[in-house]
């Protein structure tokens, strides 16, 4: 499944709640298709590494953790429109869209 599709799924599920359901035990095998510990994100906070939704709540303009919809992605994000992705998502990101809406995704995840 493409990361852009997974992000849209994530954004749809975020509206349904789910506090720490995606917590990963510290000794669990860490699998990632996007987002690594230490990722700092851009000027809007998009791309900051997160393990739970709570990791993004105080993260500027990116209050959602992508792992809500895909347990292999670990970055803070926010919704966007496809019209002006640069202004909405900031540096090194793209606004990716699918049936469930649009969300800001680090460009590195789409390569």
Cβ neighbours of residue 51 closer than 8 Å, sequence gap 6 or more? 22, 23, 24, 65, 67, 74
Residues of the chain above pLDDT 70, percent: 68
Count of CB atoms situated within 10 Å of the CB of 22: 20
Residue scoring higher pLDDT (37 or 98): 37
> Mind listing the pLDDT tens digit for each residue in 33-45?
999 999 999 999 9
In a domain, 21, yes or no: no
Residue-range definition of the domain harbouring residue 68 = 3-13+28-110
Q: Which of 15-24, 41-50, 73-82 has the highest mean pLDDT?
A: 41-50
In a domain, 18, yes or no: no
Q: What does the pLDDT read at residue 89?
A: 94
Residue scoring higher pLDDT (84 or 73): 73
Q: What does the pLDDT read at residue 15?
A: 38
Q: What is the total count of domains within the chain?
A: 1
In a domain, 88, yes or no: yes
End-to-end CA distance of the chain: give it in Å, rounded.
13
In a domain, 93, yes or no: yes
Would you give the distance in Å from CA 9 to the centre of its chain? 11
């Amino acid at each position: 499944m493409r990361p852009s599709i997974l992000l849209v799924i994530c954004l749809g599920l975020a509206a349904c709640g789910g506090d720490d359901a995606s917590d990963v035990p510290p000794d669990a095998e860490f699998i990632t298709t996007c987002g690594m510990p230490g990722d700092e994100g851009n000027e809007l906070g998009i791309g900051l590494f997160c393990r739970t939704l709570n990791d993004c709540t105080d993260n500027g303009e990116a209050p959602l953790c992508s792992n809500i919809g895909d347990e292999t992605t670990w970055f803070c994000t926010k919704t966007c429109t496809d019209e002006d992705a640069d202004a909405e998502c900031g540096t090194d990101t793209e606004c990716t869209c699918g049936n469930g809406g649009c969300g800001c995704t680090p460009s590195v995840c789409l390569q």
